[in-house]
Amino acid sequence: MFSFLTSSVSCARVKSYPLEKCQTGRMTYYDYTSSNMGTCGYGALTGKTGPGYVYGIAPNEAYFSNSFSCGECYEVVGSKGAVRVMVVDKCPSKSNNCRGDMVHFDMTIPAFEKIEDKNLGRANMTYRKVSCDIDGNIKLTIADKSNLDWISFILFNHVVGVKSVYIKVSGSWKSLKRTEYNAWAYSGHFSLPLPIRVTSIHGNTVESSINQLSGIVDLGKQFTIPSEKKLNNQCCSPALPGNVIMKNGEILNGYEASGWGMTFQYNQAVKSLSSSKSVKGSFTDVWGGVSIYNSKNLDPSQISGLSFEIKTSINCKDCLGIASTDVSKQKLISATAGEWKKITISDLSSLGINGPFNTLQFQAQGSIFEFYIDDFKFLSSSSNAPGYCAENTYIPNNQETLPKNVTNNGLEEKLPTQSNSSNSNNTKIIGIAVASGVGLLAIVVAAFFIIKKRKNNSKDEESFYVSF
């Protein structure tokens, strides 16, 4: 077992830099507790070995990559803003939310609540890897029972991810293997001081030495980030709240379907143009149809169109209509029997969409037939979407010590105008500025946080159904 202390961390932060371009994925939330320490072994998030945040994530197993991502930081964007988070845990593939290869972040409750409506349970996200805004040097915590014949430790407080670790034994550098629970271990006799070499994911190397067999060791140095790895700080736009409606035989992102004169069958082993499975629809009435809807409205200004793949059982011209709620304004589509076809609709007004909406309807046009559908999604228009950066919305930190109106580069910043009722109820800020003296201006800013303890109410997964 590893020993952890739970004293407060320093409130000083360093600047965080974007390291990747914005990408899209999916997020849920869970109740992280320090009792299980998380798969990365950091313990309490604001403890001695934690990130100093209450904002952590557990990526899906494929993205977690056997603890390789432990300690890396990401900026995650939702409909209410952005938050910076650190990888502290793993979301197992046996979970319905985290199965498969799609990038999925199971977020700590405070992180999810900052950027999205908790009642959704699951939502789309935009994310990018960033350097961590932590202070101080790389450190390691040594496992209990380590001795001169066996040592195991966990590295923490590194601004970017760790690629490799070597120790020097009897004049020879030996590579250590990282375990799935983020520990680096060596079995064999060695002596102190023990030279150590730690290399970042960008190839930057820090060399130091271990002079003890218990507790926490400060390596005295920190990774530097190559200038070419620092991308411009253009903020990421939120992902559409459900841009993917159906994919690989499933209905996703909170969408539900209700039909008349037809049936829907999911997870059909019929390959589409892009997936191994698809959804089957069977009309039993010549004017049967299905309504697909979401509890959250979509903003058409952020959508450039929609697309889907379809295969019908009959040759038909204008045999299927698609519209929003006004079926008198349908876009008619044609298809060839037994052949997959990709349909793209760029003009949403042709579907009767001229403002916020949450419903699409398919309806037969006088014929009874079957069809398969897949890769049904809205196309994002990022040029019209707002952009959020963590510096301009919510600053990850030890909220009991770091002022809310001080950015991670230490400069005073105007508080964001965007807020939500739960946040304003939980946080009170007092700012005081004093100016005195001739020719000398001194500005002192103090801010204090009162964070209400939130009631635990985690949702592990969202249920989706179709009713007829």
Summarize the confidence of residues 36-46 as an average pLDDT: 81
pTM for this prediction: 0.63
Summarize the confidence of residues 375-404 as an average pLDDT: 57
Q: For residue 120, is it left (φ>0), alpha (ψ between -120 and 50) or beta?
A: alpha
Residues 79 and 115: beta-carbon distance below 8 Å: yes
Angle at 367 between CA 364 and CA 368, to 5 degrees: 90
Q: How many helices (H) and strands (E) does the chain have?
A: 3, 28
User: Is the pLDDT at 425 greater than 60, yes or no?
Assistant: no
Question: How would residue 294 be classed by pLDDT, with cut points 50, 70 and 90?
Answer: confident
Structure-token pair, residue 356: 């916020």
User: Is the pLDDT at 117 greater than 70, yes or no?
Assistant: yes
Structure-token pair, residue 71: 């300690």
Structure-token pair, residue 340: 């997959």
Calpha distance 281→243 (Å, rounded) = 21
| pLDDT 10s digits, 191-207 | 999 999 999 999 999 99
Q: State the pLDDT at residue 411.
A: 25
User: Is the pLDDT at 76 greater than 60, yes or no?
Assistant: yes
Structure-token pair, residue 168: 């020097």
Q: Which run of H or of E encompasses 288?
A: none
Question: Which amino acid is present at 232?
Answer: N
Angle at 227 between CA 226 and CA 230, to 5 degrees: 100
Closest C-alpha to 165, from 179, 178, 148, 147: 178
Rg, the chain, Cα only: 26
Calpha distance 319→286 (Å, rounded) = 10
Residue % of the chain over a pLDDT of 70 = 75
Calpha distance 384→465 (Å, rounded) = 32
Mean pLDDT taken over the chain: 78
Q: State the pLDDT at residue 416.
A: 30
Calpha distance 191→147 (Å, rounded) = 10
Whether omega before 241 lies within 30 degrees of 0, making that bond cis, reads no
Domains belonging to the chain, first-starting first, are 139-222 (2.60.40.760), 248-384 (2.60.120.430)
Closest C-alpha to 395, from 183, 49, 143, 115: 115
Calpha distance 447→450 (Å, rounded) = 10
| pLDDT 10s digits, 47-74 | 777 767 668 999 998 888 889 999 999 9
CA distances for 463 relative to 68, 125, 273, 288, 366, angstroms: 31, 19, 27, 25, 33
Q: Per-residue DSSP letters for 174-212?
A: EEPEEPTTS-EEEES---SSEEEEEEETTS-EEEEEE--
SS3 155: strand
For 408, which DSSP code? T
Q: Spell out the residues 6+ positions from residue 221 whose beta carbon is closer than 8 angstroms to its own.
A: 137, 138, 206, 207, 208
Q: For residue 200, is it left (φ>0), alpha (ψ between -120 and 50) or beta?
A: beta
Closest C-alpha to 111, from 142, 138, 141, 88: 88
Residue indicated by tokens 């929609």 = 306
Closest C-alpha to 229, from 134, 103, 131, 159: 131
Summarize the confidence of residues 338-351 as an average pLDDT: 94
| pLDDT 10s digits, 127-179 | 999 999 888 999 999 999 999 999 999 999 999 999 999 999 999 999 999 99
Q: State the pLDDT at residue 36.
A: 59
Residues 196 and 165: beta-carbon distance below 8 Å: yes
Calpha distance 408→12 (Å, rounded) = 8
Q: Which run of H or of E encompasses 306?
A: strand 303-312
Residue 61, burial from CB neighbour count under 10 angstroms (0-12, 13-18, 19+): buried
Question: Which amino acid is present at 285?
Answer: D
